[in-house]
Structure 1
Amino acid sequence: MSAHFKNDPEFNDAVPMPISGRGFTLAEILVLVGIIALLIALLLPLNRGGARHAARRAQCVNNLKGIALALHNYEQEHKALPPAYTVDAQGNPLHSWRTLILPYLEQKSLYQTIDLTKPWNDPANAKALATSLPIFRCPVVGPGNTTTYLANTAPNGCLIPGQPRNLAEITDGTTSTLMVIEAGEEHAVPWMAPVDADESLVLSLGSDAKLPHTGGVNACFVDGHVQFLKASTPAKLLRGLISIAGGEEIPGDW
């Protein structure tokens, strides 16, 4: 029955009336169903796409948590964080910190195939270089043997080229000192490459940049926690997060 009749206090005494000529025709009903179907078809991909992106962002966070844990396990064994990259006798770059933490990422067998006495891009290391490691790759960016996870290697940053970093040197606090940040695909490098993020790169990850996630990037800090850095984060605050011992005041609600 019509909802109008059910709400009418005189419904029981009313005489049902025939449907008027203003009712929907079959053609109109088919058009209406077609419009609804079209709307559903348009909306569902958007919902699926949003869900996919949320899942990829969550996987990106997990990647960075795994990298942070590996860095801490390296520190536990070696009593210091790894260098940004190792160097030869002449000071030339050899291997990235990403290579050095492979045994702590359940990649010991891959690590053992790498000749650490020769540069990362030497033919002797070509097979390892071609290996794709999902933990070093944000799922939003896609597959490949490159990485968008770059360490904070600013002059006053976390990892130092050619030498380890003692945690005691990080006097600004481990919860507010940036260790690894993700960059956009335009900054992707081969995962074995001794290339990371300097201050200018970190400061460039603003609202005008091509970011891997809507509104910002993921980053992990020295204490191991992962946080979303908004594209609107002020440059002054970013400089404070980069520094390990600058004494900058970091607000608690940033």
Structure 2
Amino acid sequence: MMQRKAFTLIELLVVIAIIAILAAILFPVFAQAREKARQTACISNLKQIGLSVRMYAQDYDEIYPMGTYNGQRNWEVNPDVNPYPPNNQCLDALGAAGQRGFNPGDGGLNYTGCAYGGEFYRHLMTVQLFPYTKNKQIWYCPSDKNLRFSDANARIGKQSYQYFPNWVFNIGDWCASASPFPCVRYPDGQRRDLNSQPVSELSEWYSERTLFSERGMFGWDAPDGYPSKNNNFNHSTGFNICYFDGHVKHNVWGSKWRTTPASGWDASRAPR
């Protein structure tokens, strides 16, 4: 009768060690692959949003949607500002006075009349762009650590992306003034005054100008944040931007002074 030979303890330990080494090598690769897939899904979301904006513009004389503002909004809108309870952060109340009390029929509270922040995005998601997208889930980046799609979040305009057509370093009137924010000089040696540009398909730098970005865009955020990095970003390698012409690109960390508008920080580090 044959005697079955068992594994020795040392042999078992060797096998376990080999498995542990392979896991240590492969798990980061799998994590990177998952993040790359989420980054690609985020790009797809922004492409759909950008397409919906351009479809809207075709119906409204080439003008892009203005959210809850009474006129064109040629400035960024922070998505983390919440005008509803419990935060009650009311900014730009005069900018949306005509919207106060309106209800878009999404099951949420009536509008507060505070144009900046969540109400701006709620109006885009539910009223102005929904006829073209038919989907609110595209407003949520799969890599967003702070938010996931839910009806409750959508009803207060909490979502992943940030409207960003202009900021402090692209104001032409400030170039020759004593403003604390200088006009950024781009690699081609030129400055770009966005304050005089319409938020529409008639804008100059049409294919380079940011329409929507995401967490990490502000110069004080993310791994390249100044004066110190933080975790307010979605992707490990950079941030996605949807441009005025609707195309979307992944921008790596360290490129914030080259975006249009520039979003680096602080003013003392701005290229002049």
Deviation for aligned residue 1:51: 1.7
In 2, the alpha carbon distance for the partners of 1:65 and 1:90 equals 28
2:199 to 165, 169, 178: 165
Q: How far off its partner does 1:71 sit?
A: 0.5
Q: Which residue of 1 aligns with 2:79?
A: none
When residues 175 and 153 of structure 1 are mapped into structure 2, their CA distance, relative to the original with a 3 A threshold, is closer
Are 2:171 and 1:152 equivalent residues in the alignment?
no
Corresponding position: 1:83 with 2:53: no
Q: Does 1:178 align with 2:210?
A: yes
* One of 96, 102, 112 as aligned partner of 2:120: 96
Q: CA separation of 1:223/1:36 partners in 2, compared to 1, >3 Å: closer, same or farther?
A: same
Could you say what secondary structure the match of 2:242 adopts? strand
Shift of 1:38: 1.8
Give the TM-score taking structure 2 as reference length.
Answer: 0.54
* One-letter identity of the residue aligned with 1:177: R
Mapped contact 1:84–1:153 kept (Cα < 8 A): no
Whole-Å separation in 2 of the counterparts to 1:179 and 1:140? 20
Residue 51 of structure 1: which of 5, 9, 33 is its match? 33
Q: 1:230 & 1:219 partners in 2: Cα distance?
A: 11
Aligned-pair CA distance for 1:78: 1.1
Name the SS of the counterpart of 1:96 in structure 2.
helix
The answer on whether the counterparts of 1:174 and 1:223 sit within 8 Å (CA) in structure 2 is yes
Whole-Å Cα distance in 1 between the matches of residues 53 and 34 of structure 2? Answer: 29
Contact in 1 for aligned 2:221/2:230 (Cα 8 Å): yes
Query: Residues 70 and 234 from structure 1, CA distance in 2 versus in 1: closer, same or farther, beyond 3 angstroms?
Result: closer
The structural deviation recorded for 1:183 is: 1.1
Which residue type is aligned with residue 68 of structure 2? Answer: Y
Question: Is 1:143 paired with 2:148?
Answer: yes
CA contact (8 A) 1:65 1:224 kept: yes
Identify if the C-alpha distance between structure 1 residues 234 and 83 changes in structure 2 by more than 3 Å, giving closer, same or farther: closer
Structure 1 length as normaliser, TM-score?
A: 0.57
Q: CA deviation at 1:216?
A: 1.5
Aligned length: 170
Task: Judge conservation of contact 1:179–1:220 (CA < 8 Å) in 2.
Answer: yes
Going from structure 1 to structure 2, the CA distance change for 1:229 and 1:85 (only over 3 Å counts) comes to: farther
Correspondence 1:234-253 to 2 at 5 A: 234-235=256-257, 237-238=258-259, 241-242=260-261
- Larger proportion of strand: 1
Preserved CA contact (<8 Å) 1:64 1:220: yes
Q: Secondary structure at the match of 2:98?
A: coil
> Counterpart in 2 of 1:67?
49
- Amino acid corresponding to residue 212 of structure 2 in structure 1: V
Q: Does 1:215 align with 2:237?
A: yes
- The Cα of 1:34 is off from its aligned counterpart by 1.7
Gaps of 5+ in 1: 1-24, 108-132, 185-200, 244-254
Identity among equivalent pairs (%): 23
Unaligned runs of 5+ in 2: 1-6, 70-95, 101-112, 172-193, 263-272
Q: CA deviation at 1:226?
A: 0.8
Give the equivalent residue in structure 2 for 1:116.
Answer: none
- CA shift, 1:177, in A, is 0.7
Q: Would the aligned equivalents of 2:164 and 2:212 in 1 still touch at CA under 8 Å?
A: yes
Query: Which secondary structure does the structure 1 equivalent of 2:254 belong to?
Result: coil
Name the larger-Rg structure: 1
The alignment's C-alpha RMSD in Å is 3.1
SS in 2 for 1:43: helix
